[in-house]
Amino acid sequence: MEAMPEKERIQFEMPVSGKWYDLELAHASLRALVEVLGDGSEELAADFGRFDAERDLTGVQRFFLRMANPAYTIEKAGEYWNRFCDFGEWKIERRGKSEAAATLSGVPLVEKLYCRQLGGYLVRMFELVGAKDIQVEHTSCRARGDQVCTWVGSWKE
């Protein structure tokens, strides 16, 4: 908490049930997490994304999603997004049986660590539904000046 800017720290100390939290608060907490617990390593943001996926996808969801192709899973994740975020839109493009591209647009704030977190989330999501040899590449990123963020994933079933 001490590593966070005062405005975000105050918001964190006074949580409001049933209300969306400011995206800047999420970014500030992720930056503080990486700074304090990760010694500045961006890999901790990806680890946090993997943790989020583990927490978000329950046992029942994992069971049903394992019956489908991982590309179907990522398509459903695009729809699932709005349960947790009131911004952004995912466009999923299947590129064959074992490859898909996921493009996120409409995110109001650009944050490199947030992209790392989302990449970790995607990898863990694929693992949880039984995909193997997963490769996820962040091919375009708004933090690098691109118009949208795109991740291309491939796997073996």
What is the torsional sign of CA 28, 82, 77, 110?
negative
State residue 34's pLDDT score: 94
Q: What region does 132 belong to: left with phi over 0, alpha with psi -120 to 50, or beta?
A: beta
Whether domain 42-156 has CATH 3.50.50.60: the reply is no
Indicate the residue type of 116. Answer: R
Q: What is the mean pLDDT of each run of 10 residues along the chain (157 residues)?
A: 77 65 84 90 94 82 70 76 85 89 92 95 88 95 95 90
State residue 4's pLDDT score: 78
State residue 97's pLDDT score: 86
State residue 1's pLDDT score: 75
Describe the strand order of the beta sheet including 99-105 as a list of residue ranges. 89-94, 99-105, 149-156, 132-140
Q: Give the Cα separation of 110 and 35 in Å (integer).
A: 18
Spell out the domain ranges in the chain: 42-156
State residue 73's pLDDT score: 76
State residue 136's pLDDT score: 94
State residue 99's pLDDT score: 92
User: β-strands 132-140, 149-156: how paired?
Assistant: antiparallel
What is the torsional sign of CA 63, 133, 43, 153?
negative
State residue 43's pLDDT score: 95
Identify the H or E element spanning 28: helix 23-37
